[in-house]
Chains A and B, each alone.
Chain A
Amino acid sequence: MADTALNTARSLGATYADARIGRYLNQYVFTREDKVQNVVNTESFGIGIRVIANGTWGFASTNSVTEDGIKKATQQAVAIAKANSKIQKDPVVLAPVESYGEVSWKTPIKKDFKDVPVSEKVELLLDANAAAMDNGANYVNSALFMVNEQKYFASTEGSYIDQDIHRIWPTFGVTAIDPAAGKFKSRQAMSAPMGMGYEYMDGLESEKLVGPAGLKLYRNSYDIVEDATLAAKQAKEMLTAKSVDAGKYDLVLEPNHLGLTIHESVGHPLELDRVLGYEANYAGTSFATLDKWKSGDFKYGSDIVNLVADKTMPGSLGNVGFDDEGVKTKQWDLVRNGVLKNYQAIRDQVHMIDQNESHGCCYAQSWNDVQFQRMPNVSLEAGKEKYSINDMIKDVEKGIYIAGRGSYSIDQQRYNFQFGGTVFYEIKNGEIVGMLDDVAYQSNTQEFWNSCVKICDESDYRIFGSFFDGKGQPSQVSAVSHGSSTTRFNDVNVINTGRSI
């Protein structure tokens, strides 16, 4: 089928063509308290064909995966390219890519979610809900998202790439109410969406870490019942937690929290299309302009800040063998020793930053969408010296420990921002003294990363992820992870989000 597209494109004058045959299988399970709300099984199957004709991109897709259907879609893609070439100023320049022949790649899963009965998944979620309710929750909802992308890529460069990609995201929200005070508090799951199979739900003791104040933290295996139990207790505790005194604090940020800050303040501003203004209409621009990168000494962060991009980290959402234009995936530096080193770019972009090798981060959410540059995993390297969470807490005089993601806001250049969190604990003279509420910190990207003074070692390294990161017009979603160890930032401005004006 793919060869039908490639040969048709060639015969119509295309100088390049690729075809992606995609079968996307999804299973979602939703529950609330003791009830199943929905079980969803979906399939999407079709082919997307991208061509270059007259130096211009064209794209078309069809769910008629037949010789006739593919020929028609290819003809449409070439016609679109030729029509658009009349207003194209400069021809598309593609970085060279290796011809890989016939190759395959699979997410290294241990349990395929498709082999696990729905009843087992429902039972697990209802067990988690019951645990939350038994421990003081008034409401709880939980969900399991499971995705299998079966993707076949072929191009006129001579690659035929078959990939079988799995992702999973268990999550819940627990709410506790205080009717007398008219208050409610919610605590979300401390899970991370992962590029793993159903084995992520095994709750292995070997993958658990104990954080400050008895917080349970999870690495490559998640115990949803245990987390729901603690979530209910913490939601209740939040109802009477001390409201934070606004001011400057040293922040100790847990990876499931810091991942979102990395995503928004490093991942997005270093997307090259965003830097070039291509995303200005929808997602915004970037403060990290080309002149800063060209200077070779732009201090994005302090000397200990090393931010790397990759599509190769096992267990991560971005992990694939090849991207959606047939480039073998890799790791590269974005920020090294605090200095801005590179962006995220694909085959038709890297020549704009004087490079001749794609970074391998091209992705389309389905066969029906054209592939474009998407954020790879962007992660903060762990500290080199042995240093634990407890060591870090002991070294802080006046600070706040923040775990889990919360509400946030960041400007369209990805510079000025504000982040909340899931749970907050006050640190005084090296000890956790109690839970806080109404915490959010404000900073700007450069000031924040330059205030980074200490990073825990590899033993604390964990992954945060976003299952539905949005970008582009028409909008597409993508899944991406961000790794880090617990990290300290000094003298950050903390505001009280509960204050009456």
Chain B
Amino acid sequence: MERRKFVQLAGLGTGALMMPSLFLGNSIPVEALLDPGMDIATKKDDGRYGS
């Protein structure tokens, strides 16, 4: 979603125009919201290094 359109629809102040596009993220299908994402073990350690 374009930042300008988001700010317009959200009725936010002009300060919100400073919001970086990454804050909004990439558009995804609604079912992708239910994807659990990366598991904790992988987030911590890739197995190559000791902690």
Which residues of A are in contact with B by a Cβ distance under 8 Å?
A: 1-4, 7, 21, 23-28, 30, 37-45, 65, 67, 102, 114-115, 118, 141, 143, 145, 148, 150, 152, 154, 160, 162, 171, 173, 365-366, 368-369, 468, 470, 474-477
* Contact assessment for A21 and B48 in the assembled complex, using a CB-CB cutoff below 8 Å: no
On chain B, the residues within 8 Å of A30 by CB distance are 9-10
A-B contact count (CB 8 A): 122
Produce 1/0 per residue, B16-32, CB < 8 A to A: 10111011111111101
B17, closest chain A residue (CB): A475
Which residues of B are in contact with A by a Cβ distance under 8 Å?
A: 1, 5-6, 9-12, 15-16, 18-20, 22-30, 32-34, 37-38, 40, 42-46, 48-51
CA distance A45 to B26 in the complex (A): 9
Determine which of A23, A368, A470 lies in contact with B15 in the assembled complex, contact meaning CB atoms within 8 Å.
Answer: A470
On chain B, the residues within 8 Å of A28 by CB distance are 1, 6, 9-10
* Contact assessment for A162 and B43 in the assembled complex, using a CB-CB cutoff below 8 Å: yes
* Contact assessment for A470 and B33 in the assembled complex, using a CB-CB cutoff below 8 Å: no
Known A1-B38, A24-B23, A152-B40; 5 more pairs at CB < 8 Å: A44-B24, A152-B44, A365-B20, A468-B12, A477-B16
Determine which of A41, A45, A102 lies in contact with B29 in the assembled complex, contact meaning CB atoms within 8 Å.
Answer: A41
Task: State the Cβ distance, A48 to closest chain B Cβ, in Å.
Answer: 11
On chain B, the residues within 8 Å of A3 by CB distance are 44-46, 49-51
* Contact assessment for A365 and B23 in the assembled complex, using a CB-CB cutoff below 8 Å: yes
* Contact assessment for B48 and A366 in the assembled complex, using a CB-CB cutoff below 8 Å: no
19 sample A-B contacts, Cβ–Cβ < 8 Å, listed by A number: A1-B42, A1-B43, A1-B45, A3-B46, A21-B38, A23-B38, A27-B33, A40-B6, A41-B28, A41-B30, A42-B27, A43-B25, A43-B26, A43-B32, A141-B9, A160-B51, A468-B15, A470-B16, A476-B20
Task: State the Cβ distance, A406 to closest chain B Cβ, in Å.
Answer: 12
* Contact assessment for A41 and B33 in the assembled complex, using a CB-CB cutoff below 8 Å: yes
A interface SS class? strand
CA distance A141 to B18 in the complex (A): 23
On chain B, the residues within 8 Å of A67 by CB distance are 46, 48
CA distance A39 to B20 in the complex (A): 20
* Contact assessment for A470 and B30 in the assembled complex, using a CB-CB cutoff below 8 Å: no
Task: Take A114-B34, A162-B43, A470-B16 as given contacts and tell me if A4 and B48 are in contact as well, using a CB distance cutoff of 8 Å.
Answer: yes
On chain A, the residues within 8 Å of B37 by CB distance are 23, 45, 150
* Contact assessment for A366 and B23 in the assembled complex, using a CB-CB cutoff below 8 Å: yes
On chain A, the residues within 8 Å of B30 by CB distance are 27, 39, 41, 118
* Contact assessment for A21 and B25 in the assembled complex, using a CB-CB cutoff below 8 Å: no
B12, closest chain A residue (CB): A468
Q: Which residue, of A4, A7, A41, A477, has the highest number of chain B Cβ atoms within 10 A?
A: A41
Task: State the Cβ distance, B24 to closest chain A Cβ, in Å.
Answer: 5
On chain B, the residues within 8 Å of A369 by CB distance are 20, 22
CA distance A30 to B10 in the complex (A): 8
* Contact assessment for A24 and B9 in the assembled complex, using a CB-CB cutoff below 8 Å: no
Task: State the Cβ distance, A407 to closest chain B Cβ, in Å.
Answer: 10
A104, closest chain B residue (CB): B40
* Contact assessment for A42 and B49 in the assembled complex, using a CB-CB cutoff below 8 Å: no
Determine which of B5, B20, B25, B43 lies in contact with A42 in the assembled complex, contact meaning CB atoms within 8 Å.
Answer: B25
CA distance A160 to B10 in the complex (A): 36
* Contact assessment for A143 and B9 in the assembled complex, using a CB-CB cutoff below 8 Å: yes
CA distance A148 to B28 in the complex (A): 14
A63, closest chain B residue (CB): B22
CA distance A30 to B38 in the complex (A): 30
On chain B, the residues within 8 Å of A470 by CB distance are 15-16, 18-19
